[in-house]
Structure 1
Amino acid sequence: MDIKVLKIALAGLLHDIGKFMERAGIDIPSEYIDGNQSLYQPKTNWQYTHKHALYTAYFIDEMVKYFPREITEYASSRDSFINLAAKHHKPDSDSPEQLIIHEADCLSSGVERKEFEEEKWIAKKAKEIPLFPILEDISVAEKWKENKPENFIFSYPLKEISPLNIFPVKKQDSQQLAYGELYQKFIQVFKSLPHKECLKLWMEHFDSLLFVFTTSIPSATLKHSDGRFEEIISDISLYDHGRLTSAFAVSMYLYHLLTDSMDKNSIEKTDEKKFLLIEGNFYGIQDFIFSEGGSTAKYAAKMLRGRSFYVSLLSELAADFLLDRLGLPFTSVVTNAAGKFKILAPNTKKHIDALKSTEYEINHWLMENFYGEVSIGFSWVEASPEDFICSKDSLEKLLREIGRASEERKYKKIDLIQYGGTKYTEKYLDKFSDAGVCPLCNRRAANHENKIKEEYLCDICYDHVKIGENLVKKDIVTIATADAALPEKLKVPIFDKYQVSFVSGKLSELLRQNKIVHYWNINSLWKDSSILENFASIKLINGYVPKFTPEYEKEIEKLTYKDSEQDNKETREAIQKQSILSFHHIAKLSLQETPSGFAGVDALGVFKADIDNLGTIFAKGLRPEKRTFSRYATLSRQLNLFFTLYLPYLCKTEFKNIYTIFAGGDDLFLIAPWKEIIRFSMRISEDFYKYCCENSEITLSAGVYITKPETSVMTMAEISEKALEQSKYSGKNRITIFNCPVEWNKLKEFNEIIKELDSWLSKEIITNSFIYKLNEIRELAEEAEKILKEQSIHKNLNPLTWRAKLYYFAIRNIGKGKNKEERIKITEEILSKLANWIETYKESFRIPLWHTIYIRRKA
């Protein structure tokens, strides 16, 4: 890639780093101020303003030896890196590159300039203003608070990104934010960033460093109005603003370069269609992850892990492939989550042609390897600079256009003219040998070289199994060029372009040859607090997977209950090796020990959830004056972080038996012991509510399916999806359990009922048989409700007698062994509660009742 492009990308990313340094209280030597102030700071009313620009220059000067040499050396003053980054408020009129970064800075803000932090007291004030969450200011019903800082309750803590630090907290008046401490941590890691000899790798690491340390820093805190400064709602982070500035700057630079319009007038022209907004979509994700063959059950857990991660790899590398063809850096990716990404590119014929040819190459490779099961589609719309200005409605129109184009592209996934007919079928059959068909996919030709447990697998499925094995052991993924001698690489290079390996060492020669494309840390941000010691580019594309640990020795009887001797031996070996829990073992963790043996149902709880009304939230959730491109990108990232960063941490620390199939974007799919998944359901709804600043207009819906571990994963996916749809159909902001949709807050009430039923059973006030009879009475009550609603005399009226039956069975069964007076008292109390529960909760009383039956059933 052109070094100039990378320099502009990094300058855009870094242009406001001076705000971090200034608020941290770092002093600039007076001689530096005297020698450079006039270069970087503009004047207003005879006073220098925008002091953070001078700080940006000072940061680069002070840290110059820690930057790659290609960035900081061999440049004229017009396009030197320091001037590109620091002159964004005072660009030289004869430097198109500086003018472009200035314009990109404005576009990223979505409005005209609003930062005025030049006075000492203003800088001091800025240190006290926290970052406000966009999530608190979302309203689909258009019931926004008055847009004043004092009306907002929450802010983000000024700390590095971590699973807990991403949660907003209730802000304190005149809070002194610890910029100095945060800045020192940032500098410490910055000085030791690896791979300085490989500019692209180093830039990715640096971008992740900014993500970790500047995501909680507001990009702008004050505005100038009527001669005075006022605090604003600071809801765009320094990281998001810099990242989007970088994307705009690179696209503008390449557009003007390729259209021979690198002059001031052309650069400042706002009505010209300079940009392409590109959306990439991965089609067929669910069918791909859950597709089955004859032997899928043998490797179900590994295959699920491998395929889910492979989808993330395909999406990430499809975006990378496209960027490479377009001549764009990674900062041009505006959003990337859950198989969908957006890229900002220059609007030239060259780039449109590259889009089409890249899409063809990617889909040809997918067809050759997956036979139409999955595909990737690129959609794009043209945009002008003024389309990104908040004061106009054009951004909403632009996002609707790209959404419509993406939807239309979905129905053109496969070129039937090219891939239909016998010609392609014959080519497919030529790939087979006496190794036969791969037993895992039932699609591709098996290979004699890929033998696992007496079975021959195809190259792709073999890769998926190996990925599944490595994900729980390794934290680093290395991506190299197709011709690289990368150790322990996957069998099949992705898109015939990328080699993938989980090896993190022995790369010095490949680094020297410039054949390492990416070096990603996929786990440590949620898994290990020592991430800052060995920092690398962060990719949140892996979820939590439960492993055997020595503590499972205490539950060995449960885990081996009624298994064969061979199965028991394998379980003990798995504990010793700290292998992955199988679905069989996860199900057994639902059993509980009783004096008479184990009780309960050894079953899995399959949990599927997503955010309600997400399209509407993005379309109209932000108040009109805040509908900027940077806020859309920030909103997408904030929602994604809950699922990709906090969720795996929550599983690791509190719900250790939950298996993450996929989590990201706006949805998640989990498998766990059925008891644990119901307990988890209560927790995740509470945490999501807190994460969204207690905003009742941002909600989750979920579905739970309870099943045996032998059930096919496709069936698990389909039925849990139906349970989720039932929650949506019933009014959203609900969870469906036992085929019954209820509001989330009912789960706490049901938990109290479960505790009370369990107490009665434990004290032998009621019997297990009474619980089963109570279930029959509950069913009669449900039928009675329907009869009364329909007011039909042709129905069987027996259900209307449910109260009498409840009274009869209660008198006969409750409190046996107690004296008469005590029994009457207990019976009256329990009868009153049972009748109230049935009448209040109606059909949903099934949830606590069946929960109790499942727990108490003899194993």
Structure 2
Amino acid sequence: MTDRTKEKVLILGALFHDIGKFEQRCTKNPDKKKHQVLGVDFVDSGLLKDKFIRILGEDGFNSFKNIISEHHRSKTIDLTGIVQIADHLSASERVNKESDSDTGTYIDWSNKHLSSVFSKIRLMSDSDVPPRYFRQELLTKDKENYEIIIPEELTKIDIKGGQYAYKANIFEKFTNDIDTVLSFYQEDEDFGNLVNVLLMVFEKYLWCIPDFTGSPATDISLYNHLKDVAGFSHAILRNRSESQDSTKLNLIIGDIPGIQKYIFDIVNTKPAKILRGRSIFVQVLTRLLASKFLSGLGLYECSLIMQAGGKFYILAPSTSDIKNAFKTIKEEIEAYLFDQFRMDLAFNSAIEQFDYIDLMEGKTSFGQIVEDASFTLNRNKNKLFYGRLFGQNESLNNFVWKEEYLPVVEGLSDNMKCKVTDKPIRDKYEGKIPTYDENNEEKYLDVTRQVEIEFKIGDKITGDNVVIPVLGNGLSIDADRIERIKDFNKRKSSLQSKVLLNPELSELLELSRSGSQILKETHYLQVANFCSKFADKDSVLPFDQIAKFNEGAEYLTLIKGDIDNLGLIMAYGLSRDSESAEKGMSAISRTTTLSNHLKYYFSFFLNGFLQDWEKKDKENKVYTIFAGGDDLMLITPQSSAVKLLAELNEKFNDFVCANPEVHISYSVTHFKDHTPIRLVADIAEENQKEGKSINKWEQLKLVKDKNKEAFLSKNDKSSVFVFDTPIKNNELRDLLNELNQIVCWVKEKKYISLGIIRKLLYVSESLRKYEKTKDPNFLIWHARLTYLVNRLLKDKNNKYKYDETPEIGRFFDDVLKINKNESTDLKQRLYPLICQTIFNLRNIIGE
């Protein structure tokens, strides 16, 4: 076999080495065949055999089958031996148990549901989180099916009964889809695209399938396992092409720093389309940067082990050519970003070498490798554009460059500035975007070419199944030709490189069966992009229209959230000490499964959840700015913000199996629709920082004392910062219920007037001042509130004046318990509760 054929045999062998397990899960394996036998039967079937032979040749096909049949027994250093090593690296503790089963050790193989890896995360706690399991359902873009990624507390009866498991017909559909994908392959240049689409099929079917059924706590998906084994195998093969003894590999991280700053760098007061376009653009750019590295390093999609937000991770060999290629690609990217963005966008990267034998023997963990690479990445932040500024041709021109801008007209310098970013427009980099004046007449604004591109992205991308064509350099977007897949397929240019945004696999395969070349030169990207639209047209609601859906004050709210301590969770959350029974917890595929499930939550789930949430109430409008990695940014009417957060946070808590060490911190920032979004973003960032710093020193003391409760939600950040007040996430539902109750009392005029609410605001402000200063003068709030209640709400017998609404009395009694020895949890949320009540009642009472 040629080296090229060996490469293809190895990658396909690694991808299909455990495919027999999927048939076992679907068909219940009536003949009790081992997965290796079923795997060989699958690829050797009449439906698929000829297609594999066309790709690999006769000899290659036989080697391919040998990998599938012998990957547990091989003692050689051939292709099968490489897959065996990669299998161990991907999920070492599972491989050991499977090996035990071959010696006759009894293992219960009936655990066919994948448990969530979030139940395994521990930072300092020693408490077990009960496992939750995923129903076996296809991962499609059907927004009605979004809750499938929320694990459930299935009983043993549920699991053994199989009512939530795949049936045999699913395996038949899988086989047909694989047949379609293999039929797409016509020439050697199609191999990379073939791997891409195979992985899409695998993800659709195998995301919820455990790679191992010998434990009720199995939490590595078969999809991630097969993908990671293929990535490891390819890297090891490339190493051995240079040195048979090399056990070194590289982890490459690429990152676009300052994404949020770039997205929000807008002064235009009607930013909806631009903001949306910028968010999608940077996510597409991240995908293109990752693809450029894969192509330049001679790797495939299986080597892209994680991608989230503006960051990606690639598993690469450690050969002599890799570092040179890494340096060349990085400099090409820096040159492009410098040319197009003049440092408004930058690229940071790191390459970290590790020994995979140390990983196999437990001397290090994959989390630790990621942490080491991240440390290098963080250090390299001080070297952005280093190649451009300190390259081989060192000169003053590297630091000072001549720039040609649009000429000034009539002595007014503003004409040369972009009307969206307020930055000078370079000559030959100008663009225009449409807008409408007060008479609804169309006119055009002078902007930079990049802003024009982002405007078109925001204008044209209003749903899923979108094609984004890519120009010849592999990094620039052809925004004029963005369109739906069904329309793009009619063009002759389907061979052009492209990114498919939130594609539906079934549609792509149907097009491929009909002869379309839509799968060629294609990359795939899942993003959260749901936005409320006009009822009568496919156009996103602008901010001034969203504001009209408020109850009360017509303000908007920027919700900003991020997962607390995600770096620690990725690096150490799945580590166990050497004496632990779970010391193999940090296998690479457990980490990639965790990363993938977060991706599902912040794209597939969020899109479906927001669409469903919007349907519940006419006020429930939402605009997604960005969601990915550990970040979330949404805009809603102010009166809907707490309601949305309460529901969304409850879903996240279910998603992470109610693990008290995994939580999100949010900030809530109210603003008028015409406020420059750049200013709003700055305020939101400060709110986020202040919210996260509330328990900082107390928590550090707990960590220093090795307190096992240091990262539990009650002691960690895990709060919503609203109206300058942090409220614990588990109090959101109480806040919402109290808010709805008070608003109802005032609207129905049940003894509570807006005047009383304003007096409560004064009381709550005095309470806040006392808490901050401990000045006893501010304790006057209690006497004032007591006088208010006695005068307006109670009768001469010191009883509340009404019996039909006893909740009013209970509420005021709870307020009066604050700062007394009596128990009440209302203290922290009283101020934001009253502020939000006033917001919700503004423009309603007294009209």
Q: TM-score, normalised by structure 1?
A: 0.80
Name which of 251, 265, 281 aligns with 2:255: 281
Q: 1:751 to 1:766 in 2, by over 3 A?
A: same
- Does 1:185 find its partner at 2:173? yes
Q: Point out where structure 1 has 5 or more consecutive residues left out of the alignment.
A: 30-48, 146-150, 223-230, 267-271, 492-498, 550-575, 592-599, 792-796
- Does 1:456 find its partner at 2:446? yes
Name which of 673, 676, 700 aligns with 1:712: 676
Residues 55 and 185, structure 2, Cα contact 8 Å, conserved in 1: no
Which residue in the other structure is 2:706 paired with? none
Aligned-partner SS, 1:375? coil
Deviation sequence 1:780-838 (CA, Å, 0-9, x none): 23334456x356xxxxx3x333233223333444489x999873878976753442468
Residues 13 and 64, structure 2, Cα contact 8 Å, conserved in 1: yes
Deviation sequence 1:504-552 (CA, Å, 0-9, x none): 555588678xx44455241659xxx989877977521242111111xxx
**Counterparts of 1:483 and 1:705, CA distance in 2:** 40
Deviation sequence 1:452-492 (CA, Å, 0-9, x none): 332233321111111111210452225456189x9x9337x
Percent identity of paired positions between Structure 1 and Structure 2: 25
Residues 528 and 602, structure 2, Cα contact 8 Å, conserved in 1: no
Matches within 5 A, 1:529-548: 539-548=525-534
Which residue in the other structure is 2:700 paired with? none
Q: 1:479 to 1:824 in 2, by over 3 A?
A: closer
Aligned-partner SS, 1:411? helix
Aligned-pair CA distance for 1:314: 1.3
Matches within 5 A, 1:308-387: 308-387=279-358
**Counterparts of 1:375 and 1:828, CA distance in 2:** 58
Which residue in the other structure is 1:445 paired with? 426
Aligned-pair CA distance for 1:159: 2.1
**Counterparts of 1:726 and 1:320, CA distance in 2:** 38
Q: TM-score, normalised by structure 2?
A: 0.81
- Does 1:204 find its partner at 2:196? yes
**Counterparts of 2:811 and 2:19, CA distance in 1:** 66
Name which of 429, 440, 443 aligns with 2:404: 429
Name which of 4, 7, 19 aligns with 1:5: 7
Residues 701 and 734, structure 1, Cα contact 8 Å, conserved in 2: yes
Which residue in the other structure is 1:802 paired with? 781
Which residue in the other structure is 1:134 paired with? 117
Aligned-partner SS, 2:331? helix
Residues 556 and 636, structure 2, Cα contact 8 Å, conserved in 1: yes
Aligned-partner SS, 1:705? strand
Name which of 730, 749, 755 aligns with 2:734: 749
Q: 1:456 to 1:737 in 2, by over 3 A?
A: same
Residues 439 and 457, structure 1, Cα contact 8 Å, conserved in 2: yes
Deviation sequence 1:417-463 (CA, Å, 0-9, x none): 46995666544326879884432232443767645332233321111
Aligned-pair CA distance for 1:23: 3.2
Residues 406 and 416, structure 2, Cα contact 8 Å, conserved in 1: no
Residues 255 and 312, structure 2, Cα contact 8 Å, conserved in 1: yes
**Counterparts of 1:117 and 1:23, CA distance in 2:** 21
Name which of 197, 206, 218 aligns with 1:234: 218
Which residue in the other structure is 1:36 paired with? none
Aligned-pair CA distance for 1:361: 0.4
Name which of 607, 626, 629 aligns with 2:588: 629
Residues 255 and 348, structure 2, Cα contact 8 Å, conserved in 1: yes
Which residue in the other structure is 2:709 paired with? none
Which residue in the other structure is 2:708 paired with? none
Residues 432 and 445, structure 1, Cα contact 8 Å, conserved in 2: no
**Counterparts of 1:190 and 1:81, CA distance in 2:** 16
Give the total of aligned pairs.
Answer: 757
* Structure ranking higher on relative contact order (CA contacts 8 Å, 6+ apart): 2
Aligned-pair CA distance for 1:657: 1.2
**Counterparts of 1:384 and 1:733, CA distance in 2:** 37
Which residue in the other structure is 1:52 paired with? 35
Name which of 620, 633, 641 aligns with 2:572: 620
Residues 365 and 575, structure 2, Cα contact 8 Å, conserved in 1: no
Q: Point out where structure 2 has 5 or more consecutive residues left out of the alignment.
A: 140-144, 410-414, 435-442, 513-518, 577-582, 615-619, 696-716
Matches within 5 A, 1:716-731: 716-731=680-695
**Counterparts of 2:719 and 2:558, CA distance in 1:** 16
Residues 701 and 735, structure 1, Cα contact 8 Å, conserved in 2: yes
Residues 605 and 677, structure 1, Cα contact 8 Å, conserved in 2: yes
Which residue in the other structure is 2:516 paired with? none
Name which of 348, 360, 372 aligns with 1:389: 360
Return the letter of the residue paired with 1:282: I
Which residue in the other structure is 2:136 paired with? 158
**Counterparts of 1:258 and 1:770, CA distance in 2:** 80
Residues 119 and 656, structure 2, Cα contact 8 Å, conserved in 1: yes
Moved more, 421-430 or 369-378: 421-430
Name which of 580, 584, 607 aligns with 2:540: 580
**Counterparts of 2:126 and 2:627, CA distance in 1:** 30
Deviation sequence 1:317-363 (CA, Å, 0-9, x none): 11110111110011101111011111111101211100001000001
**Counterparts of 2:638 and 2:837, CA distance in 1:** 12
- Does 1:101 find its partner at 2:53? no
**Counterparts of 1:531 and 1:510, CA distance in 2:** 17
**Counterparts of 2:766 and 2:237, CA distance in 1:** 72
**Counterparts of 1:511 and 1:374, CA distance in 2:** 30
Which residue in the other structure is 1:37 paired with? none
Aligned-partner SS, 1:661? strand
Name which of 826, 832, 840 aligns with 1:847: 832
Q: 1:284 to 1:623 in 2, by over 3 A?
A: closer
Residues 653 and 659, structure 2, Cα contact 8 Å, conserved in 1: yes
Which residue in the other structure is 1:303 paired with? 274
Aligned-pair CA distance for 1:719: 1.6
Aligned-partner SS, 2:210? coil
Matches within 5 A, 1:755-766: 755-761=740-746, 762-766=748-752
